[in-house]
Structure 1
Amino acid sequence: MPKNASTRRLSLALTKTHKLSFAGVAAIGAAALSFSLVPAEAQSATKTVSAAPVAFSQDSAQVVTASVADQVTDAKRKAAEAAAKKKAEQERAKKEAASRAAERAKIAKKAEAAKKAKAAAAKTYPNNLDGWIREALDIMKKHKIPGTYNGLHKNIMRESSGNPNAINNWDINAKNGVPSIGLLQVIKPTFDAYHVPGTAWSQYDPVANLTAAANYAADRYGSIDNVNSAY
């Protein structure tokens, strides 16, 4: 009996010890479980918090992309406007340069014409047969009357020997009251009909006589150069 009683006491003692052990283990397990749950929840919370920045970053990228696209479009527009403005300025400068060049050309042409007119007005001829022929040729050229120096000279020598006051008082014209007068022996009706503007109205004037006779010869013979006898 005492042996069994001892056994029961040991068994009872073990039972209490086991209970304590189980309680400790349970407590530790609970603590461990609680500890493991807290990090899990914290991790879950962390994941949730980190998800928000990802979504924010995507929205920001879209906004930035749209902003960049707008900036590119605006830059292209400004570049096109600048190019159009530059082209317009170049066209305006080109037109202004052309206008200035045309004005300079006009002024130069006017000055050249004035110079030629002045030179023509200032041109002098000697008061002799050579001078009379040369002046007559310049007037003939102006009025497009054909003839050369030699053509005038040869006919002058035959008709009057170079005397501007020569007069024929014996031929048929003289008998009819219209004698031949001057370097090329022109009668009054012919002189009046073929008188060249800008010359004197006198048959005795050397230049007026030559130009009227050359004008008549051009009308009848094509040129004074074609006259080789009385005409």
Structure 2
Amino acid sequence: MAGVTRVLIVDDDALVRSGLTMMLDGAPGIAVVGQAGDRDEVPAALDAHPADVVLMDIRMPRLNGILATHRTRARPNPPEVVVLTTFDTDENVLRALRAGASGFLLKDAPPVEIADAVRRVAAGDPILSPRITRRLMDRAAVEAGSYERARAAFAALSPREHEVALGVGRGLTNAEIAAELFLSVATVKAHITRILSKLDAGNRTQIALMAHDAGFC
């Protein structure tokens, strides 16, 4: 399946799983390789059907998708995780992002948008809509001590790494950061690799969240 983005769909609603499967299987370059109806089914599903991206329902009967996201991202060579939400009712999206999710999608998003999001996340470009992400971050309660921890972590970055991290925090792509800072895309990628290590972050989304916690974005 070279060149094809493999997707695992996790949702307790069989109708939603079927709809997403039909939608994504018809999209170029995407194949749904498996489904799971509960967070406890995810490890076995991934063992049987390795995936590049997991679409994770944030609300499931026994426990929401936050723990499942954390466990999925803790696997060796983990797939990217995108949480599915209704936005207006879900207060746990920020917690899912902190658990390692690469972004989130609204369940009523147009099919083309969902397919594009899957491709972007698989390519390492998180789904960070500036408008919706800002609203989520602003309405979420900041964890105690997160400002101090984030400021201390950012102090370890070089000036250039700091600039790149702020670009990530603003939701810019590697190409956009490169153009803004007059760098090559390869150099931006190298900076991001070092930033991930210095901040002990699992992905770009967590860099963005730390930038927000530190008050830089």
Normalising by the residue count of structure 2, what TM-score does the alignment of the two structures yield? 0.18
Larger relative contact order (CA 8 Å, sep ≥ 6): 2
Please tell me whether Structure 1 or Structure 2 has the larger radius of gyration of its CA atoms. 1
Higher strand residue share: 2
